[in-house]
Amino acid sequence: MDIQFRTFSVSGDLKGIHYYTDNGSVEIEVPSGKRSAPFKYRGEREMIFFRKRDQVSGQEIVPLAKVMLQGNLRNPLLVFIRQGKDGESDLPYSLKVLEDDPRDFTDGTVKLMNLTNKPLHIELGQGREIDRVLKPYQILSYRLPEGFKGNLPLKISMRYGKRMEPLIRSRVFPSIHARDIYFIWPNQRKGAGNKVKIATLRERGDTAGVRLDL
């Protein structure tokens, strides 16, 4: 593999993270409020991230997170998700890969990603232009109509037996001049009214092109 990638965390900023390439170890940042700077990777399809403080000299690498990369990626975004007791693996973080090249993910496009471990029913738009079930870690895309201004109502529900329980009713404010990703993940704060929360990641396509040197 020989790719350029950026990172993002929905679980707070991560410091002291390293990954291995064919040329050795590289230290990176994983911010939670924006995409990171681009990093180069050349190596095997399985990419491993770790903290040096967790390692013991002479022993195998203790990974923080790892992911298997697909061969057709262009400028992917690697999303770090802190694992809970019901996580996918026994590693501290799971990693999800989103295609983030601005030539494919263009301005005026909205993506929603389900970071819970349950199927969620998504209703988006004044006329419920999106009305579908989003499986765990699945992504859906929606193209804003030409000249769009304002906001979109968003309702997220989950099925309990024969009934649907609302998890959140909100509004999102996408722009035809930017690319928006809405990460949906569990609200673990006790007594919270909404059972899920939404982390928003926005970037203009022309800004992405400059940062990625496209």
CATH number reported for the structural domain that contains residue 35 in this entry? 2.60.40
Q: How close are the terminal C-alpha atoms of the chain, in Å?
A: 19
- Pair 116, 187 in one domain: yes
In a domain, 30, yes or no: yes
Across residues 92-116, what is the average pLDDT? Answer: 94
CA atoms within 13 A on the CB side of 112: 28
pLDDT digits (tens, 9 = 90+) for 112-137: 999 998 999 999 998 889 999 999 99
- Pair 125, 203 in one domain: yes
Q: In the prediction, which pLDDT does 55 show?
A: 82
Across residues 63-72, what is the average pLDDT? Answer: 90
pLDDT digits (tens, 9 = 90+) for 137-149: 999 999 999 999 9
Determine contact, residues 185/199, Cβ cutoff 8 Å.
yes
Q: Print the domain residue range for 185.
A: 109-211
- State the pairing for strand pair 139-143/120-124: unpaired
Q: In the prediction, which pLDDT does 48 show?
A: 93
Across residues 189-205, what is the average pLDDT? Answer: 85
The number of beta carbons lying within 10 Å of the beta carbon of residue 125 is: 15
* Mean pLDDT for all residues in the chain: 91
Determine contact, residues 182/7, Cβ cutoff 8 Å.
no
Residue 150 pLDDT grade (very low, low, confident, very high; cuts 50, 70, 90): very high
